[in-house]
């Protein structure tokens, strides 16, 4: 896929119009607009101002440019102020019971079980299968019906990031002696090897091989037919490895494995991170298969996580003095940022929720609803990095993200019969991937709820509450969300925004209700795990029994991540 002339002209127009509205002084605005070369032998007339203008804006300036007008659809926030709002400070009651002590105990026990089962699926950690390479992350130990006994680049990066977060939560201590630092570094070393394997997607020299989605567990190529390339892996790997580097900096630690200790941070940047960043620079505008490995197109999850990686790369290129790469990253970041915000179709004025794969909507094949869009927001934004919410579209506070969850619930509470007993009750529901799903975990028939999807709903809500308390922000309930808030509290539905001041009685009741509501999604999970807390990929839409790949690593990771943010939100609420 190539950028259309319409996109070029539109973005130039937006730049020129919006630079004038940026919160910059006259000289700063003039400097940005003046930096357009008058001639260039290598660029078309239409491309010169586009590239020059994009190249002169920092990510923060670009974010401010796109978000200065709160009527812009891509920056509509759940928490913006409005002149038409109702102000409510008290008199609000909850409709949800708080979690019982028995449920709280189960959450703590299951959180520990989930983390240990993650480690059970990582070579060199607690994995008992000697065929699994050190640092390789199994998608599942299931070898037949279905065979998930492979390592996926995407799943591995998301999983290992949970290990990094665990170390951070424990101040770089390892109280259970999980040997996490060695496991994380084994993953980094294994990533170096995988990057350089020639595979059906390509080779390392052209960088095309970095789009290969999966490998054998012994870190050799998977040569059978598959949905390839998948272009989210390199970006997710950058995010995870960069987070580990930040952790080493934060706690003034060093690598423990000889291969990484001798090379140091510069070695990792040059040999692992830089190739992945170069891949994104080269291929961000090209189609690839989605995270469900079904559709070759442009996808929100891929684009948004790529953008996050590019933002991280800007800081690393500056840190390690790679100014040539930095220039390329600036252009790529700003181009991809404009594409996501303006030309991609991920958000339209006619539809309140995010569209994961707009091409499918244009073809009339799908509604566009997909839990992947919420996963994209969660994975592409560091909630403790204030710049992410400005420079990367669709943070968790964007109204479209919550609208996506609400639309998924409105569909799946009817679609899956196991949800019918919850109708009319202030409860969350079992959620699947997308409404049109027909993969049942073994073959093609009917889609089911997934543990990943159901846990992701609760994580989003916990993060929203955490964000409110951390930033001490007032809560504004947009009209399209008012039905949800009326579902869990005594608030009425409203056609105008409802404004709830921070720390007011109403604020405390509503945020506590949100946490209790998020808990109900975890209660759904509790009902469908087995007696020993095992999680598969899916659970049956009729019976609720486990289906699909057993002990799916990403299922455990999603549950653990949700519980992590629950704890962080509750800590702030009680402080």
Helix 371-380 × helix 300-319 angle, to 10°:
10
Of 513, 542, 539, which Cα lies nearest the Cα of 526? Answer: 539
Out of 290, 388, 411, 547, pick the active-site residue: 290
Is 425 exposed, middle or buried, given 0-12, 13-18 or 19+ CB atoms closer than 10 A?
A: exposed
Report whether 37 contacts 21 (CB < 8 A).
no
Say if residue 229 is preceded by a cis peptide, omega within 30 of 0.
Answer: yes
Tokens representing 535 are: 């999680």
3-state secondary structure 320-371: CCCHHHHHHHHHHHHHHHHHHHHHCCCCCCCCCCCCCCHHHHHCCCCCCCCH
Known active-site residue 224: no
| Sign of the alpha-carbon torsion through 273, 222, 114, 146 | positive
Closest Cα to residue 109, out of 569, 573, 568, 559? 559
* Placement of tokens 């390199």 in the chain: 234
Strand partners of residue 9? none
Cα separations in angstroms, 107 against 102, 451, 517, 566: 9, 15, 15, 10
Q: Quote the CA–CA distance of 64 and 68 in Å, as a whole number.
A: 6
The alpha carbon dihedral of 521, 482, 373, 437 has a sign of positive
Among all chains, which residue has been given the structure tokens 């996808």? 299
Query: In 196-341, where does DSSP find H-type helix?
Result: 233-250, 258-268, 274-283, 300-319, 323-338
Choose among 268, 247, 236: nearest CA to 137: 236
Of the residues 120, 293, 343, 446, which is catalytic? 293
Residues 455, 562: contact at Cβ < 8 Å? Answer: yes
Contact assessment for residue 338 and residue 374, using Cβ atoms and an 8 Å cutoff? no
Inter-residue contact 55 to 327 (CB < 8 Å):
yes
- Mark whether 116 is an active-site residue: no
Report, as residue numbers or ranges, the catalytic residues: 290, 293
């Amino acid at each position: 896929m190539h950028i259309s002339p319409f996109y070029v002209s539109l973005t130039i127009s937006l730049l020129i119009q919006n630079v004038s509205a940026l919160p910059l002084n006259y000289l700063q605005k003039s400097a940005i607009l003046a930096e357009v070369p008058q001639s260039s032998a290598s660029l078309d007339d239409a491309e010169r101002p586009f590239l020059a203008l994009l190249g002169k804006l920092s990510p923060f300036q670009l974010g401010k440019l796109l978000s200065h007008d709160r009527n812009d659809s891509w920056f509509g926030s759940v928490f913006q102020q409005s002149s038409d709002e109702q102000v409510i400070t008290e008199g609000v009651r909850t409709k949800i019971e708080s979690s019982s002590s028995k449920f709280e105990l189960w959450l703590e026990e299951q959180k520990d079980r989930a983390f240990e089962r993650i480690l059970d699926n990582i070579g060199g950690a607690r994995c008992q299968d000697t065929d699994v390479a050190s640092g390789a992350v199994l998608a599942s130990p299931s070898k037949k019906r279905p065979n998930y006994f492979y390592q996926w680049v995407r799943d591995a990066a998301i999983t290992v990031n949970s290990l990094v977060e665990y170390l951070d939560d424990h101040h770089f201590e390892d109280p259970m002696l999980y040997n996490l630092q060695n496991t994380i570094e084994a993953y980094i070393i294994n990533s170096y090897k995988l990057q350089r394997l020639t595979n059906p997607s390509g080779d390392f020299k052209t960088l095309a091989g970095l789009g290969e989605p999966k490998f054998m567990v012994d870190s050799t190529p998977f040569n059978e037919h598959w949905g390839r390339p998948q272009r989210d892996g390199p970006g997710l790997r950058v995010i995870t490895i960069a987070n580990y580097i930040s952790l080493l900096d934060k706690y003034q630690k060093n690598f423990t494995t000889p291969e990484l200790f001798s090379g140091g941070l510069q070695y990792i940047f040059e040999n692992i991170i830089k190739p992945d960043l170069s891949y994104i620079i080269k291929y961000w505008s090209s189609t690839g298969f989605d995270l469900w490995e079904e559709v070759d197109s442009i996808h929100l999850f891929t684009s948004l996580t790529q953008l996050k990686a590019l933002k991280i790369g800007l800081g690393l290129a500056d840190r390690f003095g790679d100014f040539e790469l930095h220039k390329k990253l600036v252009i790529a970041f700003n181009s991809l940022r404009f594409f996501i915000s303006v030309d991609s179709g991920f958000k339209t004025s006619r539809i309140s929720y995010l569209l994961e794969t707009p091409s499918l909507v244009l073809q009339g094949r799908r509604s566009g609803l997909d839990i992947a869009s919420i996963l994209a927001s969660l994975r592409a934004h560091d909630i403790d990095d204030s710049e992410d919410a400005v420079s990367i579209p669709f943070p968790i506070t964007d109204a479209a993200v919550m609208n996506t969850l609400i639309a998924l619930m409105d569909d799946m509470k009817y679609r899956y019969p196991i949800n019918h007993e919850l109708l009319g009750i202030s409860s969350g529901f079992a959620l699947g991937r997308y409404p049109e799903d027909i993969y049942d975990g073994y073959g093609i028939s009917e889609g089911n709820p997934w543990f990943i999807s159901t846990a992701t709903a609760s994580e989003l809500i916990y993060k929203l509450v955490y964000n409110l308390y951390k930033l001490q922000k007032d809560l504004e309930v947009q009209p399209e969300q008012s039905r949800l808030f009326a579902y869990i509290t005594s608030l009425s539905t409203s056609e105008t925004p409802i404004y709830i001041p921070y720390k007011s009685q109403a604020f405390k009741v509503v945020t506590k209700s949100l946490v209790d509501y998020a808990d109900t999604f975890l209660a759904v999970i509790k009902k469908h795990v087995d007696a020993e807390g095992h999680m598969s990929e899916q659970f049956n839409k009729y019976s609720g029994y486990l289906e699909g790949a057993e002990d799916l690593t990403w299922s455990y990771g999603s549950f653990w991540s949700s519980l992590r943010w629950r704890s962080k939100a509750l800590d702030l609420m009680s402080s």
